[in-house]
Structure 1
Amino acid sequence: MLSPLFGGCRGGLALALLGISVAEPLRSTKGVCTDATFAPLTLPNANIVSLDSVIAHTAWPASSDLINAFPSTKNGTVEVCQVTIKYKHRGQNDTINTWVWLPVTSWNGRFVGMGGSGWVTGTASSLAQPVFDGYSAASTDGGHSASASLQSWALDSNGDLNWKLLEDFSSVAVDEAASLGKAATRLFYGSLPKYSYWNGCSTGGRQGHMLAQEFPTQYDGILAGSPAINWDEFIPAQYWPPLMMQELNYYPPPCELEAITDLAISTCDELDGVKDGIVALPGLCQFDPSTVIGKEVNCADTNSIIKLSEKSAQFAAAVWSGANNSDGSSLWYGLTHDAPLTGLGGIDCSSSGKCKPTPFFLATDWMTTILSRDPSRDLSTIGLQDFRRLFHTSLKKFGSIIGTRNPDLTKFRDAGGKMITWHGMKDQYAFYNGTIDYYDRVRDFDARVHDYYRFFSAPGVEHCGGGPGWFPGNGFDALVDWVEKGKAPDTLFAHTIPAAAESASTPIRKANLCPYPKVLTYVKGNINKSSSFICR
């Protein structure tokens, strides 16, 4: 029988099912930011090591366009009760810090969990904006600090994988942060949040999908941008560009790769009906880089003119096609034609004039520390056969722990949850087509997916932001309206964000992003106005 403490609230039910218990707060401690107020917090199979609570004045500048940001236009300071909960799982060599921040006088009755990025499970600083906008909020370090190297926590003293800490990072700590955050909210305000939300991009987007898949009653609404789902596949696939450089024995200068990308954009730009420097229909882009071999390019960084080489064309074609098996069958998707090739295809020519690839750090960490269990392994010794073997090892050993690609979201659906995902089509790190792949599989599993999970493509947007395209900075507002008012988003409002180096007179372009599989298509009129585009 559920304790009357939780009543019929969805959040309370989740706490009760997980064994989280808090005593009825005494009137004298309600709203008081002291360790005694939060002393009743417990976790199943864990020991609370310490609790630290302090009143602080948290500042937040006006912003609507940051990773994990809320659509706030306010700035200033707010008085916050900041709680740090340190705990250990029994029988496991881990220590996890969870941060819960509680606005003292302006709580809006809602709770939000904030996601991380890369190997960072979460940070305390990410809680500043949500508490400023009236939310109680929580995040967790997942058992390791944001600055810690992967090998310092993913491998034990014997050099073996620390599976428990990998699980903490992947899922366990994020779920527990939600439970602790809602329980602490109950102790401080005397009631559980009426609605609970998740907000994250990249790793935070993966965490959001993991919560919907594995912990479907934790959150009423999930905003999951540029999600790093299919982790066991797309992270090793990030090493494909450096590997192609090694196989070709050619390390193209950045200006050569940028020129090829610009030519691809120019060729495929008007597929959506307008030439505006944005490729809105990448699936129809058939640009062949071999057709521009020999074209002269002015490299501003070296003040020289070079000709596009055959090997640079081969490299671009291989990156766009994606990693493959020896028989040519696909291992994973490639980048879209407009995504910067220099993101995963960086080079370093500083050593005695000899160039070498500089793989993206997640790919390097995964290939060496996780798959090889040798952080010092020289990746230049990995050939195609080694890469393919490691890729399949990744799927076999890590799909269940961190793959985050289970298409069965019916428990999330049945619990009344709502999820919005968006992904920049120009993403240079997390393959855009991987999110399409996942959404298609969810739709194949459940034809009702549109009732509770909607995916929006953002043309011209890079990883979690950046690029010339339309960024959906108000996605969280749309999520709240869907959860609390039943107003499902048929489109997602977005606008461009001119780079700092651009002229102050650069116009802000607006558009209403389309739910997949519809695509944003120009009809007529001013290209800066959303009314000039339709979803087709």
Structure 2
Amino acid sequence: MFKMQPFCNVTVSYTHPGLNDTIYVEAWLPNEDDYNGRLQSLGGSGWTAGRFVLQYGGMINAVANGYASVTTDAGVPGDLTDWLFAIIAKQLIKSFYGKAPSYSYWNGCSQGGRQGLKLAQQYPSAYDGIIAAAPGINWAEFFMNTIWPLFYMESTQQFPRGCELDEITSLAIASCDELDGVKDGIISDVDACRQSFDPFKQIGKSFHCSGTNSKIKISHAAAAVANASWSGPRFSDGRFMYYGFEIGTALSEVAPTKCTGDTCVGTRQDFAFAYQAFVNRKVTTELTNITARDFDTLYRNVKLLYASNLETNDIDLRDFRDAGGKMITFHGLADTAISPAGTLDYYNQVSDFTGNVTSFYKYYRVPALKHCWGGNGGQPEALFSQLRAWVENGTSPEDSPVVIAGLGNSTQQQIICPWPQTARFDGSCSAKNSTTCWSCKE
């Protein structure tokens, strides 16, 4: 439970003349004796800019640690408000405490991560430090990946049981678990696992299916759907569109089915709804006999609709770097919403463009962590304090401690490392459940 500290809630509304909008900025200001002189703004989630239950939970934590904390509903979809509410927040803090905050931080994941990148790209002086976790960078592409497994099942008429997909995931974990030097029930080296584990070689293997309460065999359909989910969406001519989910992700969540007897069907109609909303512009229309060309058409329409105001794939962060900004991105390798490979691709492009990227921007891949939190991977809770030390003291973050949910309901102390380093376990270490047994290696 968070400890609730007393604070003053100052909510400001403003509008842009002629746009018929109303935007709310909500600031929680701790008592002067508790205030640490710093601003922590909370980003949004999903399709929401902020000012909802997840942000309020984060604000409670921020205020408890002495931060003035701010969130906004943005009024309407857009990004200018992310910058404007930083200005408003700083003015409120100056009025309330008599001086501006010493340092300002952005802390966001998913939509909030996307907002953080947008701030670094377009408003490089707004924040001194930014956590931009699991960001929705290429909005159209990652959206297409979320519906790709569903489209693949519909277009190929292959609907495996969920237990089959779960079994393939379990077999992948068993095969790749110890690639990092320790058996802990998670996949840490997803790149090596992709090279060594073939879902089609699992066809015909028997296992107990909880859904049928009987022993069944892994089908070709299950292997095909797993492979498609990991490979990611393709255009109708086979060209690469975007990155898929990482191996070890819960496949039954990204490709859900419902079975009656021996007949299974998809349980979500995301592609049909998206096509109706973004192509036909009428959600009540029927959609049957969908084709790969329909998938191409949907991508083009989503790209036209969202690219200009939601994508955050600008790789030129030199202004942010030159303003003295520091940024950390982390992404769970078991994310079922946004492909972590897309985030890695963006980071590598920034690195190639700017050079010496780790002087101001670091990226951490978190094994077995789901979207922002959850899963068996450890929550990288120390990264925010490491960001603050980087901004205020020049202490560049290296490894960061996490606690993973290991085998047999156990927990294990591990570390995550800044890319391109990965965590490696020292098998000769005597303190098996200690971060001292781990080191970062390229």
Q: Does 1:496 align with 2:407?
A: no
**For 1:442 and 1:221, how far apart are their aligned partners in 2?**
17
How far 1:229 sits from its partner (Å)?
1.5
For residue 177 of structure 2, what is the aligned residue in structure 1? 269
Instruction: Give unmatched runs, 5+ long, in structure 1.
Output: 1-60, 63-74, 144-164
For residue 399 of structure 1, what is the aligned residue in structure 2? 307
**For 2:361 and 2:123, how far apart are their aligned partners in 1?**
16
Question: Which region of structure 1 is more displaced relative to structure 2, 437-446 or 374-383?
Answer: 374-383
The structure in which a higher percent of residues are helix is 2
CA RMSD of aligned residues (A): 2.3
CA displacement 1:448-486 (0-9 Å, x = unmatched): 211000001111211112222232111111011001111
**For 1:142 and 1:381, how far apart are their aligned partners in 2?**
39
How far 1:259 sits from its partner (Å)?
0.4
Distance change (3 Å), C-alpha of 1:408 and 1:261? same
**For 1:222 and 1:317, how far apart are their aligned partners in 2?**
35
For residue 191 of structure 1, what is the aligned residue in structure 2? 99
For residue 355 of structure 2, what is the aligned residue in structure 1? 447
For residue 60 of structure 2, what is the aligned residue in structure 1? 128
Equivalent residues of 1:245, 1:357 under 8 A apart: no
**For 1:273 and 1:406, how far apart are their aligned partners in 2?**
37
1:532 corresponds, among 430, 433, 437, to 437
For residue 368 of structure 2, what is the aligned residue in structure 1? 460
Matches within 5 A, 1:31-70: 61-62=1-2
Q: Does 1:232 align with 2:140?
A: yes
How far 1:425 sits from its partner (Å)?
1.3
How far 1:207 sits from its partner (Å)?
1.0
- Normalised to the residue count of structure 1, the TM-score between the two structures is 0.76
1:299 corresponds, among 203, 209, 232, to 209
For residue 77 of structure 2, what is the aligned residue in structure 1? 166
Aligned length: 432
CA displacement 1:151-183 (0-9 Å, x = unmatched): xxxxxxxxxxxxxx332xxx1222222111111
Instruction: Give unmatched runs, 5+ long, in structure 2.
Output: none
For residue 420 of structure 2, what is the aligned residue in structure 1? 517
SS in 2 for 1:528: coil
Q: Does 1:487 align with 2:414?
A: no
Equivalent residues of 1:269, 1:275 under 8 A apart: yes
- Letter of the 2:433 counterpart: N
How far 1:381 sits from its partner (Å)?
5.2
- Higher Rg of the two aligned structures: 1
For residue 315 of structure 1, what is the aligned residue in structure 2? 225
Distance change (3 Å), C-alpha of 1:364 and 1:443? farther
CA displacement 1:208-252 (0-9 Å, x = unmatched): 111111111110000122222211211122110000110221322
Equivalent residues of 2:332, 2:370 under 8 A apart: yes
- Letter of the 1:166 counterpart: P
Equivalent residues of 1:272, 1:281 under 8 A apart: yes
Question: Which region of structure 1 is more displaced relative to structure 2, 508-517 or 429-438?
Answer: 508-517
- Letter of the 2:412 counterpart: R
How far 1:323 sits from its partner (Å)?
0.6
- Letter of the 2:238 counterpart: G
1:142 corresponds, among 71, 74, 88, to 74
- Letter of the 2:36 counterpart: N
Equivalent residues of 1:424, 1:432 under 8 A apart: yes
| Percent of residue pairs identical | 38
Matches within 5 A, 1:246-285: 246-285=154-193
For residue 13 of structure 2, what is the aligned residue in structure 1? 86
SS in 1 for 2:362: strand
How far 1:272 sits from its partner (Å)?
1.9
SS in 2 for 1:89: coil
SS in 1 for 2:90: helix
1:112 corresponds, among 30, 40, 44, to 40
- Letter of the 1:101 counterpart: W
CA displacement 1:479-502 (0-9 Å, x = unmatched): 11001111010222222257xxx9
Equivalent residues of 2:161, 2:264 under 8 A apart: no
- Letter of the 1:205 counterpart: G
CA displacement 1:299-321 (0-9 Å, x = unmatched): 22432222111111111111111
Distance change (3 Å), C-alpha of 1:491 and 1:173? same
**For 1:431 and 1:367, how far apart are their aligned partners in 2?**
21
Distance change (3 Å), C-alpha of 1:210 and 1:316? same
**For 1:535 and 1:377, how far apart are their aligned partners in 2?**
53
Equivalent residues of 2:161, 2:258 under 8 A apart: no
Distance change (3 Å), C-alpha of 1:377 and 1:113? farther
SS in 2 for 1:358: coil
- Normalised to the residue count of structure 2, the TM-score between the two structures is 0.92
CA displacement 1:134-157 (0-9 Å, x = unmatched): 1111101122xxxxxxxxxxxxxx
- Letter of the 1:127 counterpart: M
**For 1:382 and 1:127, how far apart are their aligned partners in 2?**
45
**For 2:354 and 2:30, how far apart are their aligned partners in 1?**
39
**For 1:529 and 1:372, how far apart are their aligned partners in 2?**
56
How far 1:291 sits from its partner (Å)?
0.9
How far 1:372 sits from its partner (Å)?
4.6
Equivalent residues of 2:166, 2:252 under 8 A apart: yes
**For 1:87 and 1:377, how far apart are their aligned partners in 2?**
38
Distance change (3 Å), C-alpha of 1:252 and 1:405? same
2:123 corresponds, among 195, 210, 215, to 215
For residue 44 of structure 1, what is the aligned residue in structure 2? none
How far 1:328 sits from its partner (Å)?
2.0
**For 1:196 and 1:248, how far apart are their aligned partners in 2?**
50
SS in 1 for 2:267: strand
Distance change (3 Å), C-alpha of 1:470 and 1:78? closer
For residue 414 of structure 1, what is the aligned residue in structure 2? 322
